[in-house]
Structure 1
Amino acid sequence: MAIEGMINIMLSLVFIGLSFWALQAFRFDLFLSEARGGRARLLQVFLAIVIGHGVARFFTDYYGWTQMLRQFFV
């Protein structure tokens, strides 16, 4: 149980970091008046957290589903 929790935390952090990195390519200046301001950076961080958590949740759910499928063959 503890190892599973650590894996979930690490997956979340990795995918949040990847999401933040990917959002650097997005042109926020087209939608925001101050694309380099503090509020724009905070928005980027929040978007990275939401996207990264969603992707990590997908992978942990997918892993759980594959573990449940093993019960078909037991």
Structure 2
Amino acid sequence: MNDSFNDISAAVGVSGIVQMILTLCCIAVAWWSLQHLKLDLVMRYPKSPSGKMLHLLLAIILGRAVSHFFIDYWGWTQALKYLF
């Protein structure tokens, strides 16, 4: 009983770490890809602190959405083994 609990808690812990790393990597890639976004078309002063904050928030939103897709996709592929 105790061994199965330890196995489950270890699996949940590893899953959490992998999801955190994947999310941070996706946010970094989103930040990198948004570097060429011309915010001056939307904002008057894109180099201001509010412009930089908007850039950061866009990177977080986009990176989280992409990582959530990959995490969901991985879960779906793992669930396929119960189909057969």
- With structure 2 as the length reference, what TM-score do the two structures score? 0.84
Identify the residue that residue 18 of structure 1 maps to in structure 2: 29
**Which structure has more RCO (C-alpha within 8 Å, separation ≥ 6)?**
1
Greater Rg over alpha carbons, structure: 2
Q: Percent identity at matched positions?
A: 34
Question: Structure 1: which 5+ residue stretches go unaligned?
Answer: none
Cα distance, 1:31 vs structure 2: 1.0
Cα distance, 1:37 vs structure 2: 0.6
Letter in 1 for 2:31: F
- With structure 1 as the length reference, what TM-score do the two structures score? 0.95
Aligned pair count reads 73
Cα distance, 1:72 vs structure 2: 1.4
Q: Which of 75, 81, 84 pairs up with 1:64?
A: 75
Q: Deviations over 1:14-59 (max 9, x none)?
A: 0000001111011001110001111000001001001000100000
